Structure 1
Amino acid sequence: MDLLASEFAMKDLGPLSYFLGIAVSRHAGGLVLSQRKYAEEIIKRARMSSCKPSPTPIDTKPKLSALSDSSCSDPSLYRSLASALQYLTFTRPDISYDVQQICLFMHQPMDAHMQALKRVVRYVKGTIDHGLHLYPSSISTLLPYTDAN
């Protein structure tokens, strides 16, 4: 800290506890990064505070398509929620693929896309306490791998 302070104008604010909407909790084995408050705001913005939680983030049977029967009634809400869910993936890698699929249709969302987005929000509601657990590693070397095929 002293070396950094000699080079840059800075101030030590103590142990990290909250930064850019991410809460940091320390425990004996490492850190837990959580965006619970942010997730609650997304649920509230989607007007889904009283919805029933979903056990899975997306329905695996029907695939999302750009071709659908009807346009989304509120495309700006769709874009706003999809963008918010993108930021939530920093501490929720479990929804990364599903949010990426939703974001593919931000240019022209349809009702089916909004239903998929709402399912992700319902899943987030049911797993609101999930976060990213970081543990120290005993591995001190980087092991690269490549597949020539």
Structure 2
Amino acid sequence: MTDLGPLNYFLGISVTRNSSGMFLSQKKYATEIIEHADMTGCHPCRTPVETSSKLGTSGPAVPDPTLYRSLAGALQYLTFTRSDISYAVQHIFLFMHDPREQHMSAFKRILRYLQGTLDHGLQLYASFTTSLTAYSDADWASCPSTRRSTSGYCVFLGSNLLS
């Protein structure tokens, strides 16, 4: 084995050491997703999802569902360091089998949010705490079209978000 030195970049994740610990970022990867979607000149928005409306299954179909699916998969990988978009990405994944224009609009909103928050990432703090804490939440029958429930969770090791 060869020692390659301190970790700086691995699998698209940039690692920066600071006085608190390590900062993990996928800024370059997020920029590539925005470029691939041809949205480099878009205006950023403040939230990744519109809170007043819920996605349904009606409306015109997306002209290129393959592009929708590939970009959605790319966003899923981005959630490793960007847990703030996990909820929004999960919602666009619900419609992978038959994406509609309203789903593409929700997708583009996530990209606009990313455009304004490219410097966000995941801070891992140096800690001697080994306590594992988990939180979960569920929204029973919240999907307007299928009446399926949605749920979410987060797991912390000390003060570090793991999942």
TM-score calculated relative to the size of structure 1: 0.86
1:6-30 deviation digits (Å, cap 9, x = unpaired): xxxx211111000000000000110
The partner residue of 1:38 within 7, 29, 42 is 29
Matches within 5 A, 1:125-140: 125-140=115-130
* Matching residue within 106, 110, 114 for 1:116: 106
Alignment partner, residue 44 of structure 2: 53
Counterpart mapping for 1:1-149 below 5 A: 10-65=1-56, 67-142=57-132
Give the direction of change, closer, same or farther, for the CA distance of 1:133–1:141 in structure 2 (3 Å limit): closer
Question: Amino acid of the residue matched to residue 63 of structure 1?
Answer: K
1:139 and 1:38 mapped to 2: Cα distance? 31
Following TM superposition, the consecutive aligned residue runs of length 4 or more in structure 1 with deviations greater than 3 angstroms are 140-145
CA shift, 1:142, in A, is 4.5
Q: Which amino acid aligns with 1:97?
A: Y
Q: Which has the larger radius of gyration?
A: 1
How high is the sequence identity, in percent, across the aligned residues?
59
Greater relative contact order: 1 or 2 (C-alpha under 8 angstroms, separation 6 or more)?
Answer: 1
- Unaligned 5+ segments in structure 2 are 136-163
Number of aligned residues? 135
CA distance 1:143–1:21, shift in 2 (3 Å): closer
What are the ranges of 5 or more consecutive residues in structure 1 without an aligned counterpart? 1-9
Tell me the TM-score normalized by structure 2.
Answer: 0.79
